[in-house]
Amino acid sequence: MWITVRKYIAQAIKNEPYELLFFGVFMASFLLLITNLNYNTAFNDEAIYIVVGRMGLYTSDWFSYGANQWMAGLPYIYPTLTTLAYETTGLLGARFLNVIFGLMLIEEVFRFTRLLRIFDDTTNHLAAVIAAFLVGFSAIVMYVSRLATYDILSFLLLLTGVNSFIKAGSFANGKYYFISFFCLFFAFLTKIIVGIYFPVLFVLSLLILRKRPPEHKRVAMTYFYAPFLIGTLLYGYFHLQSFLTFVQTHKDEGKSENLGELVRLIAYVAGPLLVAAIPSSVLLALRGKKREMIALLALAAVIPVFHIALNRLATLDKHLTLTVVFLSPLAGYGVSLFLRSVMPKLVNAKAIRHIPGRMGAIGLRLTLVIAVCTVGLLYVIRSLAVRNDFENGWKNTEDLQEYLYQNVKPNDKVLTQEGAVVILALYDNIFPPNNIVTFDWIDYSGFTDERGYRQAIRDRYFDFIELDREHRDENSLVQAMLPDIAQHYTLVKSIGSFEIYENNNK
Is the preceding peptide bond at 75 cis, omega within 30 degrees of 0? no
pLDDT score, position 364: 66
- Reported as a single tens digit per residue, the pLDDT across 329-388 is 999 999 998 887 766 665 555 544 555 544 555 666 677 778 888 999 999 999 999 999
pLDDT score, position 476: 80
- Reported as a single tens digit per residue, the pLDDT across 384-410 is 999 999 999 899 999 999 999 999 998
- Reported as a single tens digit per residue, the pLDDT across 200-239 is 999 999 999 998 998 999 999 999 999 999 999 999 998 8
pLDDT score, position 6: 54
Residues 6+ apart with CB under 8 A from 340: 122, 123, 126
- Reported as a single tens digit per residue, the pLDDT across 234-289 is 999 988 888 887 777 777 677 777 888 999 999 999 999 999 999 999 999 999 99
- Residue 461 pLDDT grade (very low, low, confident, very high; cuts 50, 70, 90): very high
- Give pairs for 168-171: CB < 8 Å, separation 24+: 168/216, 168/220, 168/224, 169/208, 169/212, 169/216
Helical (H) or strand (E) element with 256: none
pLDDT score, position 356: 52
* Of 213, 333, 348, 323, nearest in space to 272 by CA: 323
Q: Provide the angle, in degrees to the nearest 10, between the axes of the packed helices 316-337 and 78-116.
A: 20
Q: Where are the alpha helices (DSSP H) in 117-197?
A: 121-136, 139-145, 151-167, 175-190
pLDDT score, position 363: 65
Task: Output 319 or 314, whichever has higher pLDDT.
Answer: 319
Percent of the chain with pLDDT over 90: 65
pTM as predicted: 0.91
Residues 6+ apart with CB under 8 A from 392: 39, 40
- Residue 441 pLDDT grade (very low, low, confident, very high; cuts 50, 70, 90): confident
Please report the sign of the dihedral spanned by the C-alpha atoms of residue 32, residue 34, residue 35, residue 39: positive
pLDDT score, position 333: 95
Mean pLDDT for the chain overall: 88
